[in-house]
Amino acid sequence: QVQLQESGPGLVKPSETLSLTCSVSGGSVSDYYWNWFRQPPGKELEWIGFVYFSGSTSYNPSLKSRVTMSVDTSKNQFSVTLRSVIPADTAVYYCARPTEKATTPYAFDIWGQGTLVTVSS
């Protein structure tokens, strides 16, 4: 079955750029809206945005000025970068796939295990 795996540095310095990749195995990145979420320690989930396999994107307005997402179909993976990070960006970051392809991503049944990113000098 389809599995997702996040990868990237676990520690980022304030004002620098956080970059994470989600590798898709057991399936193709084609035809889905690929999403990123985050969850600060002890807090609720927050949607960061999604990228369609074609490259179109939608971002949370609260992060839009600092976020970029992309898909690499040749590597079967997708990525997120968050610029000018601050300590409040410390969170577990998850990638996720919606239940249905090629349509509104309204529910998510496949998640990566999550990766903790700490913003600290």
Partner 1 sequence: EVVLTQSPGTLSLSPGERATLSCRASQSVSSTYLAWYQQRPGQAPRLLIYAASRRATGIPDRFSGRGSGTDFTLSISNLEPEDFAVYYCQQYGDSPRITFGQGTRLEIK
User: Is 105 a binder of partner 1 (CB under 8 A)?
Assistant: yes
- Print the binding letters for residues 76-95 with partner 1: x by CB under 8 A, - otherwise: ------------------x-
Q: Three-state SS across the chain?
A: CCEEEEECCCEECCCCCEEEEEEEECCCCCCCEEEEEEECCCCCCEEEEEEECCCCEEECCCCCCCEEEEEECCCCEEEEEECCCCHHHCEEEEEEEECCCCCCCCCEEEECCCEEEEECC
- Print the binding letters for residues 3-42 with partner 1: x by CB under 8 A, - otherwise: --------------------------------x-------
Where along the sequence are the contacts to partner 1 (CB under 8 A)?
35, 44-47, 50, 58, 60-62, 94, 96, 99, 104-109, 111-114
